Amino acid sequence: MAAAGIPGVINNFNLYHKGTALVGLTGEVSLPDFEGMTETLSGPGILGEIEEVIIGQFGSMELEIPFRILDDDAFKIMSPVSVLDLTLRASEQYTVKATGAIDYKGMRVVVRGRQKKLTTGTIKQGGAMDASVTVEITYIMIEQNGTKKIDFVGIRRDEKIYVQVCVELPSDSKRETDNLMDIKDHYHKYVVCMDELAAGNDNGIEIVHIADFLLRENW
């Protein structure tokens, strides 16, 4: 674990599509805004209107990927029918408070979605085209320095579920369940995996195969 420090800058980053680095990027990628959905409230006792935030519900999220020119990397992610599997890896530079030394920690952003908009840019002699592809996000996970995050939180009507996703459940590790145990509420919590032999219950957290999870009528 990195020592306590003063946040600095992004030292370097790269964006990968299905494991292959996209080399035609410009100097920045715009991450999405997490804007809560709201309902306008008005009536007796309310002075005008209030935008009530609906907890756990977010509006449409986009990721804009800029390219200097329309090269092969840009065309690879332009198909509106293909599911994009993107991973951004960045190195965060910071100053260690205790020593004043410079150190680094990693950040990983995983995004899945579909191409929503293609900006072809401009053509100018000696200049960049400033093209871009905008992705409509259907899944996003942000990880900092290996810190575990909840991959997905689903809400149906008034019920909430927490889902941690993994390929297989390590026999000698509670990596997939520890972060769910830290959530102190009564809603159902699941670890969904592809290991057919992994099933059961760990302190109230249900471990289930992905096929069984998806075929359930009730969670």
Residue 123 confidence (pLDDT): 93
Q: What is the DSSP letter of 25?
A: B
pLDDT in tens, 14-35: 999 888 888 778 778 888 888 8
16 lies in the same domain as 54: yes
Lowest mean pLDDT across 55-59, 88-92, 130-134: 55-59
Phi-psi region of 19 (alpha: psi -120 to 50; beta: other; left: phi over 0): left
Residue 9 confidence (pLDDT): 92
Helix (H) or strand (E) holding 180: helix 175-181
Query: How far is residue 219's CA from residue 210's CA, in Å, rounded to a whole number?
Result: 13
Residue with more model confidence, 177 or 104: 104
Quick one: 16 exposed, middle or buried, by C-beta within 10 A (0-12, 13-18, 19+)? middle
Residue with more model confidence, 170 or 107: 107
Are the C-beta atoms of 168 and 195 separated by less than 8 Å? yes
Q: Which backbone phi and psi does 44 adopt, to 5 degrees?
A: -60, 135
Q: Which backbone phi and psi does 134 adopt, to 5 degrees?
A: -105, 130
Q: Can you give the CATH number for the domain in which 74 is found?
A: 2.40.30.200
Total domains present in the chain: 2
pLDDT interval class at 156 (50, 70, 90): low
Helix (H) or strand (E) holding 177: helix 175-181
105 lies in the same domain as 193: no
55 lies in the same domain as 120: yes
43 lies in the same domain as 118: yes
- Give 132's Cβ-side CA count (13 Å radius): 15
41 lies in the same domain as 106: yes
Structural domain for 165, as ranges = 148-219
Residue with more model confidence, 39 or 77: 39
pLDDT in tens, 41-89: 988 888 889 888 876 677 888 999 988 888 888 888 877 777 888 999 9
35 lies in the same domain as 124: yes
- Burial call 99-130: b when 16+ CB within 10 Å, e when fewer: eeeeeebebebbbebebeebeebeeeeeeebe
Q: What is the DSSP letter of 47?
A: S
Nearest to 109 by CA among 81, 137, 67, 80: 137
- Percent above pLDDT 90 for the chain: 14
Residue 2 confidence (pLDDT): 47
DSSP 49-117: EEEEEEEEEE---EEEEEESS--HHHHHT--TTSPEEEEEEEEEEEEETTT--EEEEEEEEEEEEEEEE
129 lies in the same domain as 210: no
Tokens representing 176 are 């997939």
Residue 125 confidence (pLDDT): 93
Q: What is the mean pLDDT of the chain?
A: 82
192 lies in the same domain as 107: no
Nearest to 160 by CA among 143, 136, 178, 180: 180
